[in-house]
Amino acid sequence: MRVIELHRSVTDSNDRDAEALRQELKEKGVLLINLMSAPGAGKTTLLSRIITDLHDQLRIAVLEADIEASVDAERIEALGARSIQVHTDGMCHMDAGMSRTGLEALDLTGIDLAFLENIGNLICPAEYDTGAGLNVMISGIPEGDDKPLKYPLMYQKSQALVLSKMDALPYFDFDLKKFEKRVHFLNPQIRIFPVSAKTGEGMEALEAWLLSETAKWKER
């Protein structure tokens, strides 16, 4: 298990660094997806399911970012996927320089799709371009249907939203229609994928979209 300790990036031009990283990944034919959510929304569980389901079709790698600990990278490695853990020195987000450092240590040779599992936080990660080709956020049913009102930026910055823990819907007071309306008010283009990584509900649609986006990224 490799762990990389990151420090604050020295550059002031994160947007430029992010764009450069995105172009390099494009040339390598690697789609990087920046996966963002609150703590405990189920990022690692979702990734585990995707890696297992798509392992004959895509070569997937995962860059795990956390303040501390390596439990997530260990779970991903146990599935046989390439994975590396980065620690952010207390910082609540990843930026492009940090992504680059992590990806270089991860080694992307032969990889089609790489996930950056960002810090569990709905605020700071949305403010920094990581160089990813797509931003995807996860929102869990137990978090409630009012989250778009309180953390609008992340909904605006994401191309897709995974609504996780759909199996828990009967036990929570969550209004799906109201949630979708709030999300689309902030971002009319966003794709919403309601899923349960536990029961498999909705995973097929999400995985078909991932396959299609990875293919499009290699073509363009």
Residues lying near a second copy in the complex (CB under 8 A)? 38-40, 66-69, 71, 90, 92, 119-124, 127, 140, 142-144, 146-147, 149-153, 165, 167-168, 171-172
User: C-beta of 184: minimal distance to a second copy in Å?
Assistant: 17
Q: Tell me the β-bridge partners of 163.
A: 139, 194
User: C-beta of 67: minimal distance to a second copy in Å?
Assistant: 6
User: C-beta of 205: minimal distance to a second copy in Å?
Assistant: 23
- DSSP class of 89: T
The DSSP bridge pattern shows strands 3-5 and 82-87 to be parallel
User: What's the rounded Cα separation, in Å, for the pair 59 and 52?
Assistant: 11
Nearer Cβ to a second copy (39/188): 39
CA angle, 122 then 178 then 193, to 5°: 60
Nearer Cβ to a second copy (20/124): 124
Nearer Cβ to a second copy (29/40): 40
Task: Determine phi and psi for 60, rounding to 5 degrees.
Answer: -110, 140
User: C-beta of 131: minimal distance to a second copy in Å?
Assistant: 22
Helices (H) and strands (E) in the chain, counts: 8, 8
Nearer Cβ to a second copy (4/168): 168
Nearer Cβ to a second copy (22/87): 87
Q: Which contiguous run of DSSP H or E holds residue 217?
A: helix 203-219
User: What's the rounded Cα separation, in Å, for the pair 163 and 29?
Assistant: 28
User: C-beta of 172: minimal distance to a second copy in Å?
Assistant: 8
